[in-house]
Homo-oligomer: A and B are copies of this chain.
Amino acid sequence: MTSTPPDAAASVPAGEAGGPATPHVALDHPGIVELFALLAYGEVAAFYRLTEEARMAPNLNGRINMASMAAAEMNHYEVLRDALDQRGVDVVPAMTKYASALENYHRLTTPSTWLEALVKTYVGDAMAADFYLQIADVMPDEVAEVVRSVLSETGHSQFVVAEVRAAVTASDRQRHRLALWSRRLLGEAITQAQFVMADHDELVDLVMSGGGLSQMTDFFDRLQNTHNRRMQELGLA
């Protein structure tokens, strides 16, 4: 449990291909509470945005799929709230400081059509999954478990693929439009992630303990790579 020394292997980058890297981060690293708080607000913000964007759904099926995804976000939130609770931290005050970055991301990426809403859902879900997986690799087991159990609930957004592919196969204009839109989503997410890092030293230190600066660059590179893979799945590449 506590056998992982804090900065033990700061120069060793996290393993990308060869299986999960050895955890580098101490269980009591103050960044862990901040990370959980950030993710918790992310889940609540996603819940309300998904539900609002579901108004654009052309039919009941679409509204129900969005509602199911939103419900899954609240289940993730509850996992994170309990993990914070076990560390003696009250989730609501802890997560409030991350509100502006997440609300800004959503405000700057408000979809104007149902297809944009679908792509945002898919891209957002995929980015969250990448993010969770990458941080789980460098965390102590107990923390990785929380992160992976949150991750295991994602995958609700598969319903998006068929609908988006059909639309972009039928219309080149739609494909170009949605390809630009998805690039904008990634850009805004990275911008807001960098703002969060700039404001919260514990989080920067957490990423540093997990492998240093190369880890941070790798992190954004990998986000970009998996984003490209998602664009191919949606027929937007």
Contacts and interface: CB of A to CB of B under 8 A. Distances in A.
A72 B73 CA distance: 12
A75 B67 CA distance: 10
Contact of A68 (B60, B63, B78): B78
B51 A63 contact: no
> Which applies to chain A's interface (DSSP): helix, strand, loop or mixed?
helix
Contacts of A75: 71
B63 A74 contact: no
Taken together, the copies of this chain in the complex come to 2
Interface residues of A, number: 22
A36 interface: no
A48 B51 contact: yes
A61 interface: yes
Given A44-B63, A63-B48, A74 B71 contact: yes
A70 B61 contact: no
B61 A44 contact: no
B61 A47 contact: no
A96 interface: yes
Interface string A40-83: 00001001100100100000110110011011111101100000
30 contacts: A44-B60, A44-B63, A44-B64, A44-B67, A47-B67, A47-B71, A48-B51, A48-B54, A48-B63, A48-B67, A51-B51, A51-B70, A60-B92, A60-B96, A60-B99, A61-B92, A64-B77, A64-B92, A67-B74, A67-B77, A68-B74, A68-B77, A68-B78, A70-B70, A70-B71, A70-B74, A71-B71, A71-B73, A71-B74, A71-B75
Interface of A: 44, 47-48, 51, 54, 60-61, 63-64, 67-68, 70-75, 77-78, 92, 96, 99
